[in-house]
Structure 1
Amino acid sequence: MKETLFSDLTLTEPIRRAIADMGFHNATEIQFQSIPVLQSGRDVIGRSQTGTGKTLAFGIPALERIQTEGELADKAQVLILCPTRELAAQACEEIQKLSKYMQGVRAVAIYGGAPMQPQIQKLKRANIVIGTPGRVMDHMRRRTLKLDAVSTVVLDEADEMLSMGFRGDIETILNDMPQQRQTVLFSATMPDEILALTRKYQKDPVTVQINPRTVTVNTIRQEFYEVAPSGKAEALGTLLQFHAPSRAIVFCNTKRTVDALCKELNRCGVSAQGLHGDMEQPQRTKVMNGFKSGSTAVLVATDVAARGIDVNDIEYVFNYDIPQDTEYYVHRIGRTGRAGKSGTAITLCGGRRQTIQLMSVAKSVKTYIKPMEMPSEEEILKRQYAVNLEKMRDLIDKQNTPELFTHMVSDLEQMGYSTKQIAAAALFAHFGEKRQKPMLSEPEEKLSRARHGRKKQGAKNSRSGAKSNHVSQSKQSANRRGKAIRPTPPPDNLPEISYVGGYTHSHS
């Protein structure tokens, strides 16, 4: 793909300045193909995966069409429909950043799970409305949102909205708008329902299609580990410990698994939060804010909930469960490797059957997923040592150590301690002793029953005198099964330093 700069596009000066403030210089493929067509006023069908910059693709032309003076200034002129609350909120945030230097542009996000009255107040003067179909319909019924002045409507993630049962709401909303309008539709897939909508509500649309492979393969390293079905949780714990990502998403197929896996990860020292559709909006917002700020290192989510995640610096995506269809796989791994950065997608296959299932997915999207072996204990310890060493280098290079600590070092030197002794003690105080966390257990529905069975089996082995042999065999086969191994003392030449990036709690 030929590199295209935003400066190569015909943009108004306020938007050009806002884009520069946002740190964008190169336009993505969907952006440079869509923006000129949308600026001309044509209807557009955009087929593109999540994470390709669609919000700017439709947001820039929409903002340029807004009339900020006259009788339309305080009326809704642009309506953007999104499938989830998170997507609506984040799209609104992007629009507000884009309109930073534009006078009279007022964007508001409306969605369920949030108080109605503040939304009603903002809608009185909003000229751009971003919302979920259900809440848009609520405001239409209350007459707090009128669509008679809408000149541009955008259906973002249209396939997901239809799969969530919003087709009736969408058609009601579209029928309540002026016939003379620009209708824009973005979708990762084009099922028959989408095609029916385009035929009914769009006029001679221009199709912009981005090859999924340009989204997923070029910037994302894809790997998989085949482990025993009962060893997936421990394998995940080991890989999180080894890779130590500052920000990662773990995908599960069910809400139950999200909750159970989150509980296990936190019990074992991993800073993890769950995200799924049964959570109340304030809780979902709190989780997303923690993930964006970096206070939460690992987000465990279902596919539908993750549709609202728009974070560019996600280093790793883990498929704890095999995605239920090919498109979900593409959506999942598209959360990493964004904005020109590289990323890694790791899938855990519970046995040979799931490996075959994953290979079928790889064939469908024409990509290569590399088989991997679980890292050894020594490899994990060396990786942690390197990470901690880099952390100390960063702290020293920044040279912003408080003066109090400098005086403390001087006082300790006067007491007769060497610089090496002081530095070693400081490292120990910061990183703490290596805590031997219990291994992750498998978060499945029959977890307690399985544990009970193992206890009975252990007692039987003990009575028969076979317990020691059983434990020995378990240790020998643990790595072959892909299960995490309990830490053992490191080699003599390797300092014992534990990682404290949210995976092992530090303590002195």
Structure 2
Amino acid sequence: MKADNFSRLGITERLQKGLVDAGVTHPTEIQERLIPAILNKKDVIGQSQTGTGKTFAFLLPIVESIDVEQKQVQAIITAPTRELCSQLFNELKKLIAPYEGEVEAQLFVGGTDRAKQIQKLSSNQPHVIVGTPGRMNDLIANRALLAHTATTLVVDEADQMLDMGFIEDVDRLASSMAEKLQMLVFSATVPEKLQPFLKKYMNNPRHVHVTPETQAAERVDHRLVPVRHRDKISVLKETISGLTPYLAIVFANTKEQADLIANALAEEGLLVDRLHGGLPPRERKKVMKRVEDLSIQYLVATDLAARGIDIKGVTHIINFEFPSDLDFYIHRVGRTARAGADGIAISLYESEDEAACAKLVKRGIKFTFVEWKQGDWVEVKAPVGAKRMKHKPEQQKDKTDKPKEKQTDARTGGKAKAKPKKVKPAYKRKARTANEKRQKKESRVRSRNSK
């Protein structure tokens, strides 16, 4: 297996060996469009969702540009959560493996031994740093991390940084780096509130917007379970009783709701855990370890787990509620049906979800209403008001595309038989009355004219 398709993008053979180890042989669209620009030290904005290959779009040119002779920090990569940073760092390690220690990288996130990190940095400044903005700013403030030499900053999941209130930390981090700074921003969306930050640091950036070939995984069976004014937690328990997942993720919109669901499922004796931004970093690390060890069967999570985190073996996605941003529905269901496997996405449906579902239908998602009844999944009629969600098949045209001949009746000598006109009741009386009124009016007019 070779990855020589990357040669024309400026990626050398040595780095391509790391790509082979990572199982990558062909560049994706976002890699094709951004790698040359990044190698030429241009600022870029990569707008894309999960599954477009954006991680290697910035990791490859960063590793390619490292000057191994300079023992100083040259690039900093930041993401909003510890889990995302760990995932980015693992991908980076695959790429630098062929360099046999010539390119050094370190991971700095919360929930880890800060004193040990400071001690390690005192004797060695790695070429590439991956970490959360809070921990890196802390290390910079303690004069342990010498960020002023770094000329490239990657901000991954920038819209999440903004939503979680970390954009000021990223701003502080950027201001601690080299004056001539190349900034690479990657985000599923580019909200208006992010613009001041982008304008402050970016110089005529190349903005590339890439969407996945399919907006949602093709092998996902999308099901809707009507709540019908019942207790939603009870409906969730009933739904789960009809499932035997290898691993299921139950999505909620808030950490409070996630805690409520996790507690309710734990009371049923299920192997359940939770993952959301309200947990301390150390606890989130333990949860991810339990997921990897298959110690749990149900993970209750907020959208923190839907953005970029690769959780393997997910067979079922359960949406306790629809996200306000429907792109997150795509992110959520994208956790299953991977590597050619099938997946099931089940969403609890209430009447107020009609508009959201109708929009998803327009994006190519086909829903089926189902219920768990007497030990079996049964397809049910759509609730009242859900008509807009139905796919409208196109009317088939006549194959010959010829106009149809007019039907004739033998009794009319080949002429089409005229249909009798419909008349209203008492039409004769009404017509007579109208005629009498008209005659009286004409009589009055003649009488005036004769005077």
What's the TM-score, normalizing by structure 1?
Answer: 0.67
Alpha-carbon distance, 1:362 to partner: 1.8
- SS in structure 2 opposite 1:331? helix
2:173 is the counterpart of 1:173: yes
- SS in structure 2 opposite 1:185? strand
Alignment correspondent of 1:352: 351
Alignment correspondent of 1:183: 183
- SS in structure 1 opposite 2:184? strand
Alpha-carbon distance, 1:340 to partner: 6.0
Which moves more between the two structures, 158-167 or 216-225?
Answer: 216-225
2:247 is the counterpart of 1:251: no
Alignment correspondent of 1:289: 289
Matches within 5 A, 1:401-480: none
Alignment correspondent of 1:30: 30
Question: Partners of 2:278 and 2:213 in 1: how far apart?
Answer: 33
Question: Partners of 1:39 and 1:192 in 2: how far apart?
Answer: 28
Which moves more between the two structures, 130-139 or 291-300?
Answer: 291-300
Q: Quick check: 1:227–1:481 contact (8 Å CA) kept in 2?
A: no
Alpha-carbon distance, 1:321 to partner: 1.6
1:302-358 alpha-carbon deviations (Å, 9 max, x no partner)? 123554622354332211122132233233233334456554332111x3223x243
Alignment correspondent of 1:390: none
Question: Partners of 1:229 and 1:251 in 2: how far apart?
Answer: 20
Q: Quick check: 2:5–2:27 contact (8 Å CA) kept in 1?
A: no
- SS in structure 2 opposite 1:24? coil
Residues 338, 189 of structure 1: CA spacing in aligned structure 2 closer, same or farther, 3 A cutoff?
Answer: farther
Alignment correspondent of 2:118: 120
Question: Partners of 1:288 and 1:344 in 2: how far apart?
Answer: 22
Q: Which runs of 5+ in 1 are unaligned?
A: 381-478, 483-508
Equivalent of 1:370 in 350, 356, 367: 367
Question: Partners of 1:134 and 1:342 in 2: how far apart?
Answer: 39
Alignment correspondent of 2:154: 154
**Structure 1 residue runs of 4+, over 6 Å off?**
479-482
Question: Partners of 2:195 and 2:344 in 1: how far apart?
Answer: 34
Residues 223, 6 of structure 1: CA spacing in aligned structure 2 closer, same or farther, 3 A cutoff?
Answer: farther
Residues 194, 481 of structure 1: CA spacing in aligned structure 2 closer, same or farther, 3 A cutoff?
Answer: closer
Q: Quick check: 1:52–1:215 contact (8 Å CA) kept in 2?
A: no
Q: Quick check: 2:216–2:365 contact (8 Å CA) kept in 1?
A: no
Q: Quick check: 2:247–2:314 contact (8 Å CA) kept in 1?
A: yes
Alpha-carbon distance, 1:361 to partner: 4.5
Alpha-carbon distance, 1:63 to partner: 1.0
- SS in structure 1 opposite 2:284? helix
Q: How much identity, in percent, do the aligned residues show? A: 35
1:8-66 alpha-carbon deviations (Å, 9 max, x no partner)? 11233343222222333444433333333323332211011134332222111111111
Q: Which runs of 5+ in 2 are unaligned?
A: 384-451
Amino acid paired to 1:353: E
Question: Partners of 2:295 and 2:237 in 1: how far apart?
Answer: 19
Equivalent of 2:93 in 79, 96, 100: 96
Amino acid paired to 1:119: Q
Select the structure that is richer in helix.
1
Q: Quick check: 1:106–1:128 contact (8 Å CA) kept in 2?
A: yes
Alignment correspondent of 2:193: 193
Amino acid paired to 2:351: R
Equivalent of 1:80 in 77, 87, 111: 77
Q: Quick check: 1:49–1:334 contact (8 Å CA) kept in 2?
A: no
1:142-185 alpha-carbon deviations (Å, 9 max, x no partner)? 11112222122101001111122223222222222223332110
Question: Partners of 1:213 and 1:155 in 2: how far apart?
Answer: 24
- SS in structure 2 opposite 1:101? helix
Q: Quick check: 2:246–2:313 contact (8 Å CA) kept in 1?
A: no
Alpha-carbon distance, 1:113 to partner: 2.9
Task: Tell me the matched-pair count.
Answer: 375
Alignment correspondent of 1:43: 43
Alignment correspondent of 1:106: 104
Amino acid paired to 1:23: G
Residues 14, 327 of structure 1: CA spacing in aligned structure 2 closer, same or farther, 3 A cutoff?
Answer: same
Give the alignment's Cα RMSD to 1 decimal. Answer: 2.9
Amino acid paired to 1:55: T
Residues 118, 42 of structure 1: CA spacing in aligned structure 2 closer, same or farther, 3 A cutoff?
Answer: same
- SS in structure 2 opposite 1:291? helix
2:19 is the counterpart of 1:19: yes
Alignment correspondent of 1:311: 311
Residues 211, 51 of structure 1: CA spacing in aligned structure 2 closer, same or farther, 3 A cutoff?
Answer: closer
- SS in structure 2 opposite 1:130? strand
Alpha-carbon distance, 1:95 to partner: 0.9
Residues 229, 143 of structure 1: CA spacing in aligned structure 2 closer, same or farther, 3 A cutoff?
Answer: farther
Alignment correspondent of 1:505: none
Q: Quick check: 2:156–2:185 contact (8 Å CA) kept in 1?
A: yes
Alignment correspondent of 2:263: 263
Alignment correspondent of 2:425: none
1:367-411 alpha-carbon deviations (Å, 9 max, x no partner)? 33413212444437xxxxxxxxxxxxxxxxxxxxxxxxxxxxxxx
Amino acid paired to 2:317: V
Amino acid paired to 2:146: K
Amino acid paired to 1:24: V
Alpha-carbon distance, 1:101 to partner: 1.5
Q: Quick check: 1:51–1:310 contact (8 Å CA) kept in 2?
A: no
Amino acid paired to 1:352: S
Q: Quick check: 1:52–1:338 contact (8 Å CA) kept in 2?
A: no
Residues 132, 207 of structure 1: CA spacing in aligned structure 2 closer, same or farther, 3 A cutoff?
Answer: same
Alignment correspondent of 1:475: none
What's the TM-score, normalizing by structure 2?
Answer: 0.75
